[in-house]
Amino acid sequence: MFLKKLYCYNKTLFVVFIFFILSFLFINYKWGMAASPIYLFGMFSGPVHLSEPQHLLVLSANDRKVDMSKYSFAKKDMMLVMPEKYLKSKEQNLQVYQLMNRFFSTLELGSLFDPYNYMNRIDDAGFTKWYMHYLAFVLEEPVNTFELSSQTYIWENNHIQALGLLQKLPFTSTK
């Protein structure tokens, strides 16, 4: 048996290996916090239904709608996911800090955690400036104006259909 051989070869390695496996199983069983390099590989595992509405950011640059099908999925995701991630960070970073602080306080390490270390130090204007630079890099042209809006879509009668009105995002820029 491999584990028996491993124990005979190197007891320290054996202990580290068993500890890692047990930690992995425990973290996955608890289903919440990860502990790098131990992760939860649960992507696309929860039920998703076709009847559920989905949200998408619609991007216009230099008064033209950006055709996402022209770009690699990595660039497309950078253009569309990053604004969502930025907006999400405003709430999530604080929530994660509060949870981590509570967790580390139980280990008497709460004093190490200063909220200032866990919050972003830019505002919407800072993000807008960065996003315009990034768009210029991907679109390979100077970007003077851009507009980001959120649109809801549903899958109905074998086709995609827009639902409701476009919702403009806070960092739309016009020069």
Q: Which of residues 11-50 bind other proteins (CB under 8 A)?
A: 13, 17, 20-21, 24, 28, 32-37, 39-50
* Dihedral pair phi/psi, residue 22, rounded to 5°: -65, -40
* Dihedral pair phi/psi, residue 37, rounded to 5°: -90, 30
Q: Closest Cα partner for 24 from 8, 9, 40?
A: 40
1: contact with other proteins by CB under 8 A:
no
Considering beta carbons, is residue 92 or 144 the nearer one to other proteins? 92
Return the residues of window 146-165 that contact other proteins according to CB under 8 A: 151, 153, 155, 158-160
Between CA 127 and CA 87 the distance in angstroms is: 10
Tokens of 126: 């800072």
85: contact with other proteins by CB under 8 A:
yes
In this chain, which of 102, 103, 144, 170 binds other proteins, going by CB under 8 A?
103
Q: Residues 124, 170: contact at Cβ < 8 Å?
A: yes
127: contact with other proteins by CB under 8 A:
yes
Considering beta carbons, is residue 56 or 172 the nearer one to other proteins? 56
Kindly state the smallest distance separating residue 104's Cβ from other proteins, in Å: 8
Q: Residues 24, 40: contact at Cβ < 8 Å?
A: no
106: contact with other proteins by CB under 8 A:
no
Return the residues of window 107-126 that contact other proteins according to CB under 8 A: 112-113, 117-118, 120-122, 126
Say what the alpha-carbon torsion angle 162, 168, 170, 175 is, to the nearest 10 degrees.
130
